Amino acid sequence: MQNTLLSAVQASALRLAYRAAHHLPQIEPFFPEKWQLGRFLQQTIPASVQAMLPADHWYRKVQRARLQSDLLRRYAALFPRRDWRPMIQTSGAVSWEWIAAQQRPVMIVTPHFGSFAFGSLALAQSLPEKTINIFYDDPADNAGNAVFFDLLTSQPNINVLYNNPRGLAKAVRALKQGQILTMFPDVYQDIRQTGFVPFLDRYLRVMPGTAYLARKNQAMIIPAYSWPSEQFGAHIWLDQPVLPEDLACADERQHEFAIMCALFRSVSERVRQQPEYWHYWERLAQISHEMPGQTAADKIRARVQRIPALVQQFPELQQIL
């Protein structure tokens, strides 16, 4: 009885804080300095990256977005077995019903965007007949993941796979068995295993694992994005699927590169539309490089256009140029 009452009080406080998130920038200066997210963002995001964010008090929008996303996660942790579907609005190029009816392997891929943890619960509950396999770092190696691990394992149809060779083998088996695989493509463990793809007028370091699994298993990739709604809840957007056969070429590495470029075109478009919800602005300068100036790009483009056979042999050049 006491625990139930405590949970109810906590839930009410979280909902109240969610509604008050719009006013956070006005009251945050009264918090201890270490709690001031706005100050932290202004100090840690380089000026060149800040210029890519909304000009009108960008850090206030990021503050609100991150606070509401975290409050949703905390609220869900209080009632892990609750049916969250009434609080979720889903739209996009495909539907949950369409995904459930697919007869081929499916990967649902999301960046660290908005309420991604709450979105994982929504995914599991929206596809109750499917087993959902989610890649995460082992909490023993990354203590910060413990809060997500407990939340995800509360759902009976979610399996958490660790980012290691054993987890990769399980992922391949899961796809072959018709289960759903989800991945976060905007994070990497070993810089030596990364490549670059175009992203927000920069070149972003990414792991090719998403494309590798899609190519090897002929799995469609559905980019998915979750963010807090105006009311207490979340909105999910399911983007146009990326089909590996549409990007096929003779060289396997070039094929995987083309898949990653197509995926990150979707991610770039979503982040441009709602930049306040992407969680890695602080890291962007460290995990990406600026593209060459317009003059250099024009010279490369002109050189490629003079040799049509290059584009025929390497179709992915079109995606870069």
Span 273-314, pLDDT tens digits: 999 999 999 999 899 988 776 555 566 677 767 776 766 666
Q: Which among 208, 202, 172 is positioned nearest to 188, based on CA atoms?
A: 208
Q: Region 68-89: what's the mean pLDDT?
A: 90
Q: What is the spatial distance between Cα 128 and Cα 47, in angstroms, rounded to a whole number? A: 45
Is residue 109 predicted with pLDDT exceeding 90?
yes
Shared domain for 234 and 90, answered yes or no, is yes
- pLDDT for 69: 92
Domain membership flag for residue 64: no
Shared domain for 206 and 274, answered yes or no, is yes
Shared domain for 233 and 96, answered yes or no, is yes
- pLDDT for 225: 98
Is residue 224 predicted with pLDDT exceeding 60?
yes
Shared domain for 146 and 260, answered yes or no, is yes
Shared domain for 208 and 267, answered yes or no, is yes
Q: In what order do the strands lie in the sheet with 158-162?
A: 88-92, 234-238, 220-228, 106-109, 180-183, 132-136, 158-162
- pLDDT for 140: 75
Shared domain for 153 and 213, answered yes or no, is yes
Is residue 206 predicted with pLDDT exceeding 60?
yes
User: Average pLDDT, whole number, for the chain?
Assistant: 86
Residue 160: count other Cβ atoms within 10 Å of its Cβ: 18
Lowest mean pLDDT among 158-162, 207-211, 300-304: 300-304
Please state, for a pLDDT cut of 70, what percent of the chain lies above it.
85
Domain membership flag for residue 236: yes
Q: What is the spatial distance between Cα 185 and Cα 195, in angstroms, rounded to a whole number? A: 12
Domain membership flag for residue 245: yes
Please state, for a pLDDT cut of 90, what percent of the chain lies above it.
50
Which runs of consecutive H residues, i.e. helices, occur in the chain?
Answer: 2-19, 24-27, 37-44, 47-50, 58-78, 96-100, 116-126, 146-152, 165-176, 209-217, 252-273, 284-287, 294-305, 308-313, 316-320
Q: In what order do the strands lie in the sheet with 195-199?
A: 195-199, 202-206, 288-290
Domain membership flag for residue 145: yes
Shared domain for 202 and 281, answered yes or no, is yes
Task: Indicate whether this model's pTM tops 0.75.
Answer: yes
Shared domain for 200 and 268, answered yes or no, is yes
Q: Region 132-159: what's the mean pLDDT?
A: 83
Domain membership flag for residue 69: no
Shared domain for 278 and 308, answered yes or no, is no
Shared domain for 304 and 237, answered yes or no, is no
Shared domain for 132 and 174, answered yes or no, is yes
Lowest mean pLDDT among 36-50, 151-165, 243-257: 36-50
Q: Region 196-200: what's the mean pLDDT?
A: 92
Is residue 262 predicted with pLDDT exceeding 90?
yes
Please write the tens of the pLDDT for every residue from 9-52: 888 888 888 888 777 666 666 566 655 677 778 888 888 888 88
Range of the domain at 226: 83-290
Q: pLDDT grade, residue 121 (50/70/90)?
A: very high
Count of domains forming the chain? 2
- pLDDT for 2: 46
Domain membership flag for residue 136: yes
Domain membership flag for residue 92: yes
Domain membership flag for residue 16: no
Please write the tens of the pLDDT for every residue from 266-280: 999 999 999 999 999
What residue type is assigned to position 214 of the chain? A
Shared domain for 265 and 300, answered yes or no, is no
Q: What is the spatial distance between Cα 277 and Cα 61, in angstroms, rounded to a whole number? A: 9
Q: pLDDT grade, residue 177 (50/70/90)?
A: very high
